Structures are given as structure tokens and as C-alpha cells.
Amino acid sequence: MLVGSAAILIMIVLLALGVPVAVAMAGVGFLGMGLIVSWSTALSQIQSLPYHLTAEYGFAVMPMFILMGSLAVTAGIAEEIYDVAYKWLGRLRGGMYLTTIAGQAAFGGISGSTVVDATVFTRTALPHMLRYGYPKTYAGACMVATGSFAAMIPPSITMVIYGIITEVSIGRMLIAGIIPGLVSAAFYAVGVIIAVRIWPHVGPPARVRVSWAERFAAVRGLWVMLLIFAIVMGGLYAGIFPPSGAGAAGAFGVLVVALARRRLGWQGLWEAARTSAGITCVIFVIIIGGLLFSRFLVMVGFIDSFGPLVLSITHTPLGIILLFSLMYLILGCLIDTTSMMIVTLPFVYPVVKQAGIDGIWFGILLVKLVEIATMTPPVGLNLFAVAAAGKEHVTLDDLIRGIWPYILMELVILAVLIAFPALSTWLPSQMLG
């Protein structure tokens, strides 16, 4: 426990000093194995682990989902979704918040990246909100918070990473995120409606004049999103194809639609492919570094000792859930979400299994904690993404001041998901395949 704890502390210090995440984890793991076990063991791990991880066919789901989201952005599907929500909800008090909530939830169904979603909607929605007199602190923070929906609403890269590390069914995890994702969006909408009634100045009506004919005409723009979501999630739910096949089908569907509409030229296709490959490579390098670090923790006995330590503090599943939730809330303020999952799951998940906690339920709770981590200062990734995309309108300080009401709503949603496990487990239990 002492050696493992010291290694974790050294890794966190390296991250705080600006050392790249993958280098920090892989470096500490490799040197630890070399110094404490043997250099031949360390070298053999460096030689074998990267190949065995990246050669696993099932992991093809990750680049496919990333490509699907990149093509959707390039094809302008996000703007269409926002336009529909804007025409139906924009005229209401607080309607621009509701428009962003609905748009982010819908676009999350074809994009698995919280950073991409937050960036795209900051460029699309934030100027409109400021034009109609919305406070920039809460308007910008709305982009940060609703961007996190992509972690829960499938297809979710976060869920794929969880499935890779824990060997929980990725397909069932993706299906399990549908109801919690919709619950999150509904809580946000109710929270906004209540807030603008108490403080009308934070959500003035946008005075959008749109006829009913224009509203119904705009709905036709949703067919692409609904079609792709039905192909991916319907195929998974019915057992027609595995997650990797679902990702490929979704990416191909978006590609065909974009080409048919002549919204995707060779330059756009190249940019989408290049971006997807780059993101995939970064994620896999981080996973490789994290697994090297985790294997070091296994070799020194940290993981075997961690379970009894936790169980000596609390024996009940609820107590374990609350303890780990507190741990992840703290870690989410210190390190990025991918690193947080990769470093901790190898010793957290065995305790979860030993306590008899459903792996799907715990996965959904962890994804919700990841959502919170994307918006908590000082290292919330969505904070930086929105600050960069909306630098002409908001600063990082503005976003930090405005994010706290959204974090409070997320904590309430987390409590609901803990109190009602069936919200996470019922839908995957009905899967045919």
C-alpha cells in the first residue's frame, strides 16, 4: 500500500508539473516495475501490452464512434438540430437555455465526445444567447454543462473506455445510458424553468417569431439524427451487430447522408478522418500508459490490499458507492477524466464486484461522475473547451463563476441514479442480444 500510494502521488505531482498524462503514467509504471520487480519484466510489458491492447478487434468501436461524431460536425448536423430546438423553444423565457439543452441532448446521440459537443454548441448557440441579453456567465456555463451529456447519451467514448478496462459489455453500457441521459436533460430543463421564474433576468424571452409552419418544417431536419441513432442503438438493442459493427454502421450512415447532401468534400472528409485518427491515437496512448501503471500496482500488491482496506471502512454496497463517489469528485478536480478512469478502475472495480454491485449500474454512476469532472475547476476539460471556442465572448473566470448551479443539479441527478438503480439497469436487461 505504501509503495502504491507513493507511486500515485508521484504521478499526480508529475501531472501538476505539466508532464503529458500518458508519459507520467507509463513512466512511473515502467520505472516502478524495473526498480521493484525486474527490468526484464518492465521491458516485456512495454513490448507486449501496446500490441495486445490495440490489436483487439472489439476496440474498433472507439475510432468508429469518434469518426461518426466528426463527420456529423463536418456535415452540419449539429446546426440543424440546434435550429429545430431554437424554433420550438427559443420564444420561451429561458428558451435559449432550453434550446441548448435539447440540442446538446439530441446531438449527443451521434457524438460521443463532451469536448466536441461543448465546442460546437459554443460557436453555434452562445452568440445567440448573448444577443438576447442572457448573462454571459450562465450562458457560457450552460455550454460547459450540457456538453457533458455526450458522456452519458450513447454513443459514448467514456463508456467504451469503461468497458475496455472492466470488460463489462460495451453494448449493454451504451444502452444503459439512454434513460439516465434523458433524465439528466429533463432535470436540466426543470431546473432552468424554476430558475428563470425566480430570477427572470437570467433568462429573458428571445422574442423569436416563428410560424407553426416553419416549426414543423424545421422538424424534418431531425430525420438524419433519428435515423443514425436508430441504426446504432436499435442494432445494438436487437442484437443485430456488436458495438464495433454499430459504430461502423453509424459512421457509414453519416458519411452517406453528408455526401448525398453535398456537404462533405474531399477536404472535409480528410479533416474528419485526420481528427478522428488523432483523437483515437491520443486515447489509446493514454490507455496504454494507464495499464502499464496499473500492472505495476498489481505487481507490488497495492490492488490486492486496496479491497480489504475499503471493506474495513464500509461493508455495505451503498457505503462503497458513496465512498468512491466522494473519491471521484475530488479526483475530478485534479486530473482529466480519462486518466482518472484508467488509473483507478483496475483497483476500484474488483472491490465493486466483491461487494456484489452491478457493473452496469456502477458504470453509469461513474459516467455521471465523469460528467461532473468535465465541468469542475480547475481542470474541467469542458471549461477550457468553451473558453477557447468562445474567447470573444467569455473568459475562463466567467465560466467558473457560472458553473456552480449546474454542478448542484448534477449532484442531485447523481443522487437520483444512486437511489434508483433500475434507471440504469432496466433497459440493458431487456436486450435481445
Identify the pLDDT of residue 432.
67
3-state secondary structure (DSSP) of residue 77: helix
Identify the pLDDT of residue 139.
94
Please tell me the total number of residues recorded for the chain in this structure.
433
- Mean pLDDT in order along the chain per 10 residues (433 residues): 87 83 90 91 89 78 85 81 85 89 89 85 88 91 93 90 89 93 96 93 79 82 83 84 84 86 80 86 87 87 83 88 93 83 88 93 96 89 91 92 95 97 93 69
How far does Cα 107 stand from its chain's mean position? 13
Give the predicted TM-score (pTM) of the model: 0.88
Kindly state whether residue 179 falls inside one of the protein's structural domains. yes
> Can you tell me the distance from the alpha carbon of 133 to that of 366, in angstroms, rounded to the nearest whole number?
36
* C-alpha grid cell, residue 125: 448557440
Identify the pLDDT of residue 144.
95
What Å distances lie between residue 90 and 81, 94, 97, CA to CA? 13, 8, 8
Identify the pLDDT of residue 236.
83
Kindly state whether residue 314 falls inside one of the protein's structural domains. yes
Kindly state whether residue 82 falls inside one of the protein's structural domains. yes
Identify the pLDDT of residue 404.
95
How many structural domains are present in the chain?
A: 1
Kindly state whether residue 130 falls inside one of the protein's structural domains. yes
pLDDT tens track for 6-40: 988 898 888 778 888 889 989 999 999 999 889 99
Residue-number span of the structural domain to which 225 is assigned: 31-429
**DSSP 8-state assignment for residue 37:** I
Kindly state whether residue 164 falls inside one of the protein's structural domains. yes
Identify the pLDDT of residue 206.
67
Identify the pLDDT of residue 283.
84
Kindly state whether residue 9 falls inside one of the protein's structural domains. no
Kindly state whether residue 3 falls inside one of the protein's structural domains. no
Identify the pLDDT of residue 18.
81
Neighbours of 173 (CB within 10 A): 25
pLDDT tens track for 177-202: 999 999 999 999 999 999 999 998 88
Kindly state whether residue 15 falls inside one of the protein's structural domains. no
